[in-house]
């Protein structure tokens, strides 16, 4: 479908407004690195929360979520636990407070507060910088593949060309153009530009989501949905196996849908959920990977505000986003056109979202929605472009190459680093063929390799910089190894079978074969961050110096609150889906559970947040 002049005008008007805002606010970003990468740690927590939510509202992930809702129904809401979405819950309850107390610029710099300045700390510093850059490049490649595949289905021009003997498709050219627009305001304005434009983008996206939800409810009835879906499509419950079989479409479409379930590796659903829960707990307590999420936590004014910011993300993100996901999913289900979605003899599930938009959203409204979805892409892309260069400039250039560099020089290096990250990410993106493949590699393999070392750094006093370094190296090695050595093994099952054992072994051997970290560093970290866990020997030394010091006794409360918050977060996801699918009884129950969990969190979490 080609867009009308009105729709195209809305989209381009929005892009121009975004770039104008980015440049207008850029003067505030040029003072120093804190201003450029963290907004001077002076931005209100609610703006940071809206910005963070906007950065997570990416178009590529939304395309994937619409596709899995189409195939798996309500049980698809369990699949994002792979990321894990619980990360925001653990940050909200306790981790954001622990992290913000460090008062540093990046995750790599934070390691000095934990491991000191010895060789182990320097090695751990290098490992987390490498991990951060690999993760950011992976996300840029993921975004590049998604935005091109999405936009090419709407804009009318064929931009395919040949450069230096290399054929570049139309979808890659569109991706290059939109990424160039976004890079302009990110490079110029840093965190200030990213946050201000992301708040605008979040508002546009929220309006787009509500419009799609309303249109879906007018277009599709509950009876129409029931006529095409399998028996358990609307149910969240499951047995040992998924037992979801498509039978109501034509034979070749049913076969494609059932093959999709088989190839994804989710048939033994109980085993999958057990792996996801194990992984979700480990990765969530490990904390956010060194990227834009961590950056927002470090940018908050106080530890308490960092916790409130993390809680706001779930509150404002899921209801509007799942209104869009559920709306587009049910439209595609009822008005499904397999000829449109088949590509080279197989269903391309990543085309479901564009299919639903291009066929059922009216002129003018489509321009607003596409502007919102492009805003979603720009938010995620901008957040990563702003996060990655912080490690290059602060943790490589300033630390090892030019320690006495002026602020002006550091800001210029930030510009150069941002462009470099984009170029490398786009180059990798040319070799990506499937959104789902790279998403699974990032979330299950790469983030899985991060889990062991970063889990242990919080809870075990004996864990040292060498253990962190070898745990990170082993985890990164395992995540890169699996696709090459075990090409037929699902990335999901590779986590407990290969990646976690390798990274844990690296962490333990690196720690136990070397000396403990400096006693004063451990005591300083323990008294300032105040984590719970296995810190007995350090606690005794601190207590001897300061008899009034009290250890953190909040483990049971934090774990209980985290469980309650996971349920609360899940209700925020289910309510809009039940609304769009007309499951009003289930929606009422979900609202009741939401209110109960909110009341518990008010008394047992919010009222107990300490002012720092």
Which has the higher per-residue pLDDT, 248 or 224?
224
Instruction: Decide if pLDDT at 35 tops 60.
Output: no
pLDDT digit string, tens, across residues 92-111: 999 888 888 876 666 666 77
User: Around 226, how many Cα atoms within 13 Å sit in the side-chain half-sphere?
Assistant: 5
Which has the higher per-residue pLDDT, 400 or 230?
230
- Please give the pLDDT value at position 434: 55
Instruction: Give 424's contacts (C-beta < 8 A, 6+ positions apart).
Output: 137, 140
- Please give the pLDDT value at position 37: 46
- Please give the pLDDT value at position 92: 92
- Please give the pLDDT value at position 185: 60
- Please give the pLDDT value at position 418: 76
The pair phi, psi for residue 347, each rounded to 5°, is: -70, 130
Which structure tokens are listed for 173?
A: 């050219």
Which has the higher per-residue pLDDT, 233 or 117?
233
User: Which of 147, 11, 63 has the alpha carbon at shortest distance from 328?
Assistant: 63
Instruction: Decide if pLDDT at 461 tops 70.
Output: yes
Which has the higher per-residue pLDDT, 506 or 204?
506
- Please give the pLDDT value at position 25: 62
Which residues of 208-353 form beta strands (DSSP E)?
342-343, 346-347
Instruction: Decide if pLDDT at 568 tops 60.
Output: yes
- Please give the pLDDT value at position 4: 79
- Stretch 532-555: mean pLDDT: 92
- Please give the pLDDT value at position 344: 62
pLDDT digit string, tens, across residues 395-435: 777 777 888 887 778 777 877 887 887 787 777 777 665 55
- Residues 268/273/278/279 CA torsion (nearest 10 deg): 90
Region for 54 from its dihedrals, namely left if φ exceeds 0, alpha if ψ lies in -120 to 50, beta otherwise: alpha
H runs (alpha helix) in 513-583: 519-529, 536-545, 555-580
Which has the higher per-residue pLDDT, 342 or 532?
532
- Please give the pLDDT value at position 77: 92
Give the rounded distance of the alpha carbon of 434 from its chain centre.
18
Q: What is the b/e burial string over 208-226, where b = at least 16 CB atoms within 10 angstroms of the residue's CB?
A: bbbbbbebbbebbeeeebe
Task: Please count the other Cβ atoms lying within 10 Å of the Cβ belonging to residue 118.
Answer: 17
Alpha-carbon gap, residue 284 to 445, rounded angstroms: 15
Instruction: Decide if pLDDT at 2 tops 80.
Output: no
Alpha-carbon gap, residue 424 to 441, rounded angstroms: 18
218 pLDDT band, cuts 50/70/90, is very high
- Stretch 165-183: mean pLDDT: 77
Length of the chain: 612
- Please give the pLDDT value at position 184: 67
Alpha-carbon gap, residue 389 to 36, rounded angstroms: 11
Give the rounded distance of the alpha carbon of 443 from its chain centre.
9
The answer to whether 469 and 126 have CB atoms below 8 angstroms apart is yes
Please measure the distance between the N-terminal and C-terminal CA atoms of the chain and give it in whole angstroms.
55
CATH number of 5-433+550-608, picked from 1.10.3230, 3.30.910, 1.20.1730, 3.90.175: 1.20.1730
Paired with 163 in beta bridges are 166
Give the rounded distance of the alpha carbon of 375 from its chain centre.
16
pLDDT digit string, tens, across residues 354-368: 777 777 778 777 888
223 pLDDT band, cuts 50/70/90, is very high
Instruction: Decide if pLDDT at 443 tops 60.
Output: no
Which structure tokens are listed for 140?
A: 């840029």
Least confident of 310-324, 503-517, 559-573: 310-324
Least confident of 19-33, 65-79, 257-271: 19-33
DSSP letter string over 149-179? Answer: HHHTTT------EEETTEEE-HHHHHHHHHH
Alpha-carbon gap, residue 593 to 504, rounded angstroms: 37
534 pLDDT band, cuts 50/70/90, is very high
Helix (H, G, I), strand (E, B) or coil at 534: strand
Which structure tokens are listed for 331?
A: 């439209």
Alpha-carbon gap, residue 293 to 390, rounded angstroms: 13
- Stretch 154-183: mean pLDDT: 76
Instruction: Decide if pLDDT at 290 tops 60.
Output: no
Instruction: Decide if pLDDT at 40 tops 70.
Output: no
Alpha-carbon gap, residue 274 to 190, rounded angstroms: 40
Instruction: Decide if pLDDT at 27 tops 70.
Output: no
- Identify which of 336-345, 385-394, 429-438, 569-578 has the greatest average pLDDT: 569-578
User: Which of 100, 233, 112, 98 has the alpha carbon at shortest distance from 533?
Assistant: 98
- Please give the pLDDT value at position 387: 65
Which has the higher per-residue pLDDT, 269 or 41?
269
- Stretch 460-477: mean pLDDT: 90
- Please give the pLDDT value at position 137: 76
DSSP letter string over 110-139? Answer: HHHHHHTTSHHHHHHHHHHHHHHHHHHHHH
DSSP letter string over 414-475? Answer: HHHHHHHHHHHHHHHHTT---HHHHHHIIIIIIHHHHHHHHHHHHHBTT--HHHHHHHHHHH
Instruction: Give 451's contacts (C-beta < 8 A, 6+ positions apart).
Output: 279, 282, 283, 286, 475, 500, 503
- Please give the pLDDT value at position 32: 46
Percentage with pLDDT > 90 across the chain: 23
36 pLDDT band, cuts 50/70/90, is very low
User: Around 343, how many Cα atoms within 13 Å sit in the side-chain half-sphere?
Assistant: 8
Domain ranges of the chain: 5-433+550-608
């Amino acid at each position: 479908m080609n867009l009308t002049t009105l729709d195209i005008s809305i989209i381009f008007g929005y892009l121009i407004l975004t770039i104008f805002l980015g440049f207008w606010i850029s003067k505030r970003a040029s003072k120093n690195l804190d201003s450029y990468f963290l907004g001077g740690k002076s931005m209100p927590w609610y703006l940071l929360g809206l910005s963070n939510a906007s950065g997570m509202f990416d178009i590529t992930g939304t395309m994937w979520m619409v596709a899995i809702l189409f195939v798996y129904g309500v049980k698809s809401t369990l699949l994002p636990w792979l990321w894990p979405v619980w990360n925001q819950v653990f940050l909200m309850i306790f981790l954001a407070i622990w992290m913000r107390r460090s008062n540093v610029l990046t995750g790599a710099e934070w390691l000095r507060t934990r491991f000191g300045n010895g060789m182990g700390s320097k090695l751990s510093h290098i490992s987390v910088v490498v991990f951060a850059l690999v993760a950011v490049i992976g996300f840029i490649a993921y975004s590049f593949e998604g935005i091109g595949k999405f936009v090419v289905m709407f804009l009318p021009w064929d931009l395919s060309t040949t450069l230096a003997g290399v054929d570049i498709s139309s979808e890659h050219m569109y991706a290059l153009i939109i990424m160039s627009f976004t890079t302009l305001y990110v490079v110029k304005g840093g965190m200030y530009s990213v946050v201000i434009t992301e708040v605008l983008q979040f508002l546009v996206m929220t309006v787009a989501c509500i419009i799609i939800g309303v249109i879906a409810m007018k277009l599709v009835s509950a009876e129409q949905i029931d006529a095409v879906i399998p028996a358990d499509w609307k149910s969240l419950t499951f047995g040992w196996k998924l037992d979801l079989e498509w039978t109501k479409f034509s034979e070749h479409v049913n076969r494609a849908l059932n093959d999709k379930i088989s190839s994804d590796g989710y048939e033994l659903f109980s085993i999958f959920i057990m792996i996801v829960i194990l992984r979700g707990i480990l990765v969530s307590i490990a904390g956010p990977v060194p990227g834009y999420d961590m950056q927002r936590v470090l940018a908050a004014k106080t530890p308490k505000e960092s916790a409130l910011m993390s809680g706001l993300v779930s509150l404002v993100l899921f209801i509007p986003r799942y209104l869009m996901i559920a709306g587009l999913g049910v439209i595609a289900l009822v008005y499904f056109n397999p000829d449109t979605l088949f590509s080279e003899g197989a269903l391309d599930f990543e085309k479901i979202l564009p299919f639903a938009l291009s066929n059922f959203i009216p002129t003018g409204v489509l321009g607003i929605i596409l502007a919102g979805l492009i805003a979603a892409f720009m938010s995620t892309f901008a957040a990563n472009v702003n996060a990655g260069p912080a490690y290059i400039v602060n943790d490589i250039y300033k630390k090892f190459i030019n320690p006495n560099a002026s602020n002006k020089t550091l800001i210029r290096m930030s510009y150069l680093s941002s462009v470099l990250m984009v170029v490398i990410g786009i180059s990798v993106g040319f070799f990506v063929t499937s959104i789902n493949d790279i998403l699974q590699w990032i979330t299950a393999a790469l983030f899985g390799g991060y889990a062991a070392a970063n889990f242990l750094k919080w809870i075990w006093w004996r864990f040292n910089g060498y253990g962190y370094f070898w745990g990170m190296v082993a985890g990164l090695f395992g995540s890169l190894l699996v696709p090459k050595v075990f090409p037929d093994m699902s990335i999901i099952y590779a986590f407990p079978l290969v990646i976690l054992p390798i990274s844990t072994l690296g962490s333990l051997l690196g720690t136990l074969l070397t000396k403990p970290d400096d006693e004063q560093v451990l005591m300083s970290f323990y008294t300032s961050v105040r984590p719970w866990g296995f810190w007995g020997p350090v606690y005794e030394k601190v207590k001897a110096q300061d008899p009034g010091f009290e250890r953190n006794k909040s483990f049971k409360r934090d774990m209980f609150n985290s469980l309650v918050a996971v349920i609360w977060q899940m209700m925020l996801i289910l309510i809009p889906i039940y609304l769009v699918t007309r499951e009003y009884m289930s929606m009422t129950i979900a609202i009741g559970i939401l209110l109960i969990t909110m009341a518990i969190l008010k008394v047992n979490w919010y009222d107990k947040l300490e002012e720092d």
